Amino acid sequence: MTTTLKSALKLALVAAAFSGAALLGPAFADDDEGGEGGIRAVTNETVKTECSACHMAYPPGLLPQRSWQALMGDLSNHFGEDASLDEPVRKEIEDYLVANAADAGGRSIRGLKADQIPLRISELPWFTREHGSKLIARAKSNPKIGSISNCAACHRGAEQGYFEDD
Ligand code: HEC
Ligand code: HEC
């Protein structure tokens, strides 16, 4: 089965589980930059391979540099999993994530204090505001989704950096 078909099936299941919520959208971002509502998807092949074994490879632009450094500095203790990598691979991934982080090039992040080091995209202020506690709780209790961290279960274009629903 192709990936596209698989995710289309998955989305149909999600749509059924969340009837009412409009989650269908274009499967791909308009361009590599992600366009409007889009977030630049992972372009580094090592990251694509190594960071998608257990969940989708999250776009680097969704967390600040200090978060990626903290995550990449403690991979043996990664949300209850051991995601350790050999040093050259680990370093390549960290360098890519940091170079493409939300605050790379001096950009600032809204609603985040300088001393906060979030380890989850799903705990950022904009994220919880956008999704709401009810949806987050429903994602967790739905066995077909498992957790709000499973972006691609609801956002069909997530792996291409596309999260908007219309
Ligand atoms: C061995 C499995 C495994 C691998 C490999 C792995 N992760 Fe994870 N990761 C997890 C688990 C489990 C969670 C928690 C998911 C949840 O709460 O549903 C997680 C969560 C995350 C989160 C937070 C998601 C959120 O809720 O916002 C980030 C960021 C993350 N991983 C980055 C990475 C990066 C970067 C890599 C590659 C270096 C990686 N992961 C490789 C298992 C893994
Ligand atoms: C249970 C389903 C579900 C999951 C899982 C989920 N989302 Fe969402 N997400 C939504 C819904 C519903 C909206 C609101 C759509 C709207 O009103 O435009 C949304 C909105 C968004 C938006 C704003 C899009 C816009 O209109 O600008 C972003 C960005 C986003 N999600 C990213 C993520 C990321 C990253 C993850 C994984 C860490 C994730 N979502 C997981 C359902 C989900």
145 and 80 both lie in a single domain: no
pLDDT confidence tier of residue 37, bands split at 50, 70 and 90: low
| Pocket lining for ligand 1, CB < 6 angstroms | 50-51, 53-55, 58, 71, 78-79, 81, 83, 93, 120-122, 147, 149
Judge whether 53 lies within some domain: yes
- Domain with 150, as residue range(s), is 1-38+120-159
Ligand 2 atom closest to Cα of residue 21: 12
CB atoms within 10 A of CB 69: 16
Q: Out of 1-5, 39-43, 69-73, 123-127, pick the least confident.
A: 1-5
How many domains is the chain partitioned into structurally? 2
Judge whether 124 lies within some domain: yes
Whole-model pTM? 0.84
7 and 66 both lie in a single domain: no
Judge whether 144 lies within some domain: yes
Q: Is 165 in the pocket of ligand 2 (CB under 6 A)?
A: yes
Judge whether 166 lies within some domain: no
pLDDT tens for each residue of 91-133: 999 999 999 999 998 887 778 888 999 999 999 999 999 999 9
Measured distance CA(97)–CA(61) in Å, rounded: 8
